[in-house]
Structure 1
Amino acid sequence: MKPGEVRVAGQVDKPYTVTLADLRALPQTSVSVEFTSAKGPQKHTYKGVLLHEVLKNAQPRFDASKKNGQLRGVAVATGGGDYRAVFAWAEIDPGFAKSQVILAVSEDDVPFEDTSGPRLVAPQDTKGGRYVSELNQLWGGVVDPVVDGGQH
């Protein structure tokens, strides 16, 4: 993978790679956020693409025979330094939640550098721990193998 590329993969039918340029060409969502970080209180406006849309394009494999099978889904974002954050599918699916988790292409109208990639932004969080910088991988899948004892 080249710097700035994000691999969208996992238990999906159509894995693909996306760049900041790709994301800038898609419909944008703007979110104003306030959160606490190691640097203290933060207040920013981010613009980007809904995480749900990016993952939906990879066509996650949810079990349609299960009631609300997508609610067994998770999204894992990996960034620089192997930093990871996990989201339940219901947190990012507008059919279930009002949150607008995005892959941000800019902060306070300053575009991110192409080599650093997008930043995952979780506006509903009061702490910035799930704000993933230098995003390089999104993994979508279901928890069934773990919960049902396939892995420990």
Structure 2
Amino acid sequence: MGGEVGKPYTLTLADLRKLPQTSAAVKFTSAKGDQEHTYQGVPLHEVLKTAEPRFDQSKKNGQLRGVVAATGGGDYRAVFAWAELDPGFSKSQILLAVSEDGVPFDDAAGPRLVVPQDTKGRRYVSELNQLWVGVVDPVVDGAK
């Protein structure tokens, strides 16, 4: 876990299994058709706040300028606005899943990012290997 954080760190699937778990029953459409699963895991927000994201507190709601990029196997990547995963702004709960339908993921494969509110599974990131936290300001301000 890196980017604009005060405490970058590495977390394994075994580490995630030791943290308090929650579950989410999901339905989504994928390239394989309609899917219905129950995932067990840790809320993404809980893991990210441990890294102490650095948002500009001099800006009103500075964390709303935050983004999170999740990268998985095959360099697959999905990007989220901070407000999508912060329970102070959203009722959604994005998970770092450690199992699907009661079957643990293989340690070598890593966790899966699960987005229960999505109707399509395209932002589900399998074999998650990197989380990056940043802000949009350099991109937006540089685009003027």
Residue 30 of structure 2: aligned partner: 37
Specify the alignment match of 1:51 in structure 2: 44
Q: Which amino acid aligns with 1:84?
A: R
Superposed structure 1 runs of 4+ greater than 3 Å apart = none
Q: Note the alpha carbon deviations across 1:96-122, whole angstroms, 9 max, x for none.
A: 000010000000000000000000000
State the Cα distance separating 1:28 from its structure 2 match: 0.6
| Structure 1 residue runs without a partner (length 5+) | 1-7
| Alpha-carbon distance between aligned partners in 1 of 2:22 and 2:132, rounded to the nearest angstrom | 22
State the 1:89 CA deviation.
Answer: 0.2
- Aligned twin of 1:99: 92
Alignment match, 1:140: 133
Equivalent position to 1:127, from 120, 123, 126 = 120
In the alignment of these two chains, the number of paired residues is 144
Look up the match of 1:79. Answer: 72
- Name structure 2 gaps, 5 residues minimum: none
The answer as to 2:83 corresponding to 1:108 is no
In 1, Cα distance between the equivalents of 2:81 and 2:22?
A: 20
Query: How many Å separate the matches in 2 of 1:67 and 1:28?
Result: 32
What is the aligned partner in structure 2 of residue 5 from structure 1?
A: none
**In the aligned structure 1, how far is the partner of 2:141 from the partner of 2:112?**
33
Normalised by the length of structure 2, the TM-score is 0.98
TM-score in terms of structure 1 length:
0.93
Aligned residue among 69, 80, 93 for 2:62 = 69
